[in-house]
Amino acid sequence: MGLIDTHAHLADERILPEVDAVVERARAAGVETIVAIATGVEDARVVAGLAERLPGVFATAGIHPHAAASASEEAFATIRALLGHPRVVAIGEAGLDYHYDFAPRERQRESFLRHLELGRETGLPVIVHAREADEDLRGLLREGGAGTRGVLHSFSSGRALLEDALALGWYASFSGMVTFKKYDAADLLRMVPADRILVETDSPYLAPVPHRGRTNEPAFVVSTARVAAQLRGEDPDEFAARTTSNARTLFHLP
């Protein structure tokens, strides 16, 4: 069974000019499906267009916390409309980023709650970006997370946030960070139930070993999955099959 890259920024300027070749390389590597992530309104339009014309590519629609200051009513109206697109399978990425603070924190929190509201309205899963904001995210999940589905993407947060998300029935996704020499969260990787773990590239960021220093792309999720399986003490083929099944369940993929 082929792998699914559950988080790739195909609209990024480092990937978009050669996106057809990137998707072909992924297929050749055994990656059968890619979820192309939106970070704002324009991104959402682009990835929806890619999903329309590229077999095996699906899209999301949402506003990244970096862009939360521009999350106007008009922007959310556009996102809501795009969520009705047949190839759009999730909301986001949304969340909180207190590392860069590119948007005021209150605006980030407001935007995230709006995304959770969209999750309740549509039944689509919410893809969550979390950086140095665990306690606020935990509070917002308690406030607005009931009745939603979702995933903590490229998980690198603390145990308490992971426990809260898992208690909601959410998933956790792991990126190339698991292959880094300094990766020290294997206990949290092993803590995720087998039926709620996913793998991703977060392309073009976080290229896994042995591709460090290169622009990351969906084909490289194979390396991430192999190491994640080793860290969990699982057979790589069984782990690949399980994460693929999980992704199909979460995103209602064909």
Binding-site residues for a divalent metal cation sit at 7, 9, 93, 129, 153, 202
Distances in Å between the Cα of 230 and the Cα atoms of 39, 48, 108, 240 are: 32, 35, 36, 12
Label residues 47-69 b or e (16+ Cβ within 10 Å = b): bbebbeebebbbbbbbbbbbbbe
Report d(CA 193, CA 189) in Å as an integer: 9
Taking alpha carbons only, the member of 119, 61, 60 closest to residue 253 is 60
Which segments are annotated as binding site? 7, 9, 93, 129, 153, 202
Q: Which residues pair with 94 in a beta bridge?
A: 128
**The pair of three-digit structure tokens given for residue 251, joined into one six-digit string:** 């995103």
**The pair of three-digit structure tokens given for residue 58, joined into one six-digit string:** 């699906």
